[in-house]
A and B are shown apart, each in its own frame.
Chain A
Amino acid sequence: MERSVDSELRQLKEKILTMGGYVEKALDDSLKALIQRKPELFDNVYEVEKEVNQKHIEVDEACLRILARQAPMAADLRLVVAVIKINTDLERMGDQAVNISHNAKRYITEPPLKPLIDLPRMAEEVRAMVRFSLDAFVRGDVALAEKVLAMDDLVDGLKNQIYRELITYIVGDPKVTERALNLILIARNLERLGDHATNIAEDVIFAISGKDIRHGGGAGAQAGSTQK
């Protein structure tokens, strides 16, 4: 027998998935616009981000309604709490895609500073993190969520590498500063996207297993256990 909360939770998951799909689309388009130098794609990003914002509000309303009317418990409660947080992360990820677009727009109006090698690599990793974190959410796959956590270190490493390289360009020729800075900002935007995907992965682990692994809490912090 299906409980009435089941269909509401299912709809909530679907909303998050749709929202995640929009975020992936916005990210893809912003990166394609940068790498393939296609400024016409930026408008897509701005349009899709509006959809993300719309879903942001809808998901919050749905969570509030479920908490008020269903008083969910245990795994249901953890899922709703996780969704409230994932919702915030996804909305911020949409904003970061827009930020990438703003920075890329400025960058591609001028000739390329250098062939882009590490940045597309970093973008691939971040896209995979976003995809895996959402897949982990849909499938309730803790192992996949843990994989996302591991990927974040690689992304942070790539960001530092990109920073170092571009700073040597600036030092070598200050006239390239603006172009180099735009790329540095994009690397920073990607790194933040990776952090949000990491947050989602942590929330998925909490929702599925009840374990709070944030801030090094991996050693047995459990939902509902208070420190005494």
Chain B
Amino acid sequence: MANPILETKEVSAWFGKHQAVRGISFSAEPNTINAMIGPSGCGKSTFLRCLNRLHEEVEGARVEGSVLLSKEDIYGQGVDPVAVRRRIGMVFQKPNPFPSMSVFDNVAAGLRLAGIHKRSVLAEVVERSLVQAALWEEVKDKLKQPGTSLSGGQQQRLCIARALAVNPPVLLMDEPTSALDPISTAKIEELLVNLKNDVTIVIVTHNMQQAARISDQTCFFLTGELVEAGETSRIFTNPQDTRTEQYITGRFG
């Protein structure tokens, strides 16, 4: 690939003695959506969590290999994992707005942690992030209400706005629509396709149609290995590996 924004080299990950991810080399070009598919337990979520140093937060967990963000190793010596997570944001399966915070404060949380407290700056970034997350029109009169008062789909977009507020070049998403109804799912998908103008997205999804609809690159994982990665339209019409073929045609998994 010409100029990947995110690149991994031989990344392996363990939970104690159990190896969940086996030597994965992967790269994502800027302004693309990269879908990770594979059966449950194939290591795709664990791999995703290696990409912003979240995996190591689990007790007994360990990572080997390197993850380069714009050519810089996020596992390099002296790199602060918290700083990494500001540049590589994450959205989870279940919408998880901070329960005690308003809509506004949820989005502003990351900025405040980064030491930004000026009201006008916060207001501007909160609005921009909510617009980017296609939520502004629905919540602009409810900014003081609790984030948890919104609908499920709105809460998920709130979490996306919260992740976008700190302007990350890369956004990781772990099954972000699996808890949502089809309408909310469609909104999030549309949002992601628009967002890739600003960020590079790596998304884990169990919904193959979702991967086929929105992603540029699809990666198929099996038992901790990256079996096949390639242009999404090729993977879904003409996969090269029989295991990929069998999985996407529903023969196992």
User: Which listed segment binds B: A21-29, A51-59, A67-75?
Assistant: A67-75
Q: Are B233 and A3 in contact (CB under 8 A)?
A: no
Q: Are B235 and A224 in contact (CB under 8 A)?
A: yes
Q: Is the interface of A mostly helix, strand, loop or mixed?
A: loop
Q: A71-B209, A74-B239 are in contact. Are A224 and B233 (CB under 8 A)?
A: yes
Contact digits for B222-253, partner A, Cβ 8 Å, 1 yes 0 no? 00000000010111111100001100111100
**Which of B231, B238, B250, B251 sits near A210, CB closer than 8 Å?**
B238
User: Hey, which chain B residues are within 8 Å of A73, CB to CB?
Assistant: 208, 212, 236-237, 248-250
A97 to B248, CA, bound (A): 41
Q: Are A226 and B238 in contact (CB under 8 A)?
A: no
Contact digits for B53-67, partner A, Cβ 8 Å, 1 yes 0 no? 000000000000000
Q: Are B251 and A224 in contact (CB under 8 A)?
A: no
Residue of A nearest to B239 (CB): A74
Q: Are A222 and B238 in contact (CB under 8 A)?
A: yes
Chain B interface size band reads 10 to 19
Q: Are A72 and B238 in contact (CB under 8 A)?
A: no
User: Hey, which chain B residues are within 8 Å of A223, CB to CB?
Assistant: 234, 237-238
134-185 of chain B: CB within 8 A of chain A: none
A5 to B250, CA, bound (A): 9
A109 within 8 A of B: no
Q: Are B231 and A74 in contact (CB under 8 A)?
A: no
Q: Are B238 and A78 in contact (CB under 8 A)?
A: yes
Question: What is the distance, in angstroms, from B28's C-beta to the closest C-beta of chain A?
Answer: 17
Residue of B nearest to A71 (CB): B209
A60 within 8 A of B: no
174-227 of chain B: CB within 8 A of chain A: 208-209, 212
Q: Are A224 and B231 in contact (CB under 8 A)?
A: yes
A196 to B236, CA, bound (A): 28
Q: Are A75 and B251 in contact (CB under 8 A)?
A: no
A124 within 8 A of B: no
A224 to B234, CA, bound (A): 4
**Which of A3, A5, A71, A224 sits near B238, CB closer than 8 Å?**
A224
Question: What is the distance, in angstroms, from B248's C-beta to the closest C-beta of chain A?
Answer: 4
Contact digits for B1-35, partner A, Cβ 8 Å, 1 yes 0 no? 00000000000000000000000000000000000
A76 to B235, CA, bound (A): 13
User: Hey, which chain A residues are within 8 Å of B233, CB to CB?
Assistant: 224-226
A75 to B250, CA, bound (A): 11
User: Hey, which chain A residues are within 8 Å of B244, CB to CB?
Assistant: 74
A66 within 8 A of B: no
Question: What is the distance, in angstroms, from A7's C-beta to the closest C-beta of chain B?
Answer: 13
Given A71-B209, A73-B250, A77-B237, 19 other A-B residues pairs in contact with their CB atoms under 8 A = A5-B250, A72-B249, A73-B237, A74-B236, A74-B237, A74-B238, A74-B239, A74-B245, A74-B249, A78-B237, A222-B238, A223-B237, A224-B231, A224-B234, A224-B236, A224-B237, A225-B233, A226-B231, A226-B233
- Shortest Cβ-Cβ A-B pairs, 6 listed: A224-B234, A210-B238, A224-B237, A223-B238, A224-B233, A223-B237
16 contacts between A and B (CB under 8 A): A71-B209, A73-B236, A73-B248, A73-B250, A74-B237, A74-B244, A74-B249, A75-B245, A76-B249, A78-B238, A210-B238, A224-B235, A224-B237, A225-B231, A225-B238, A226-B231
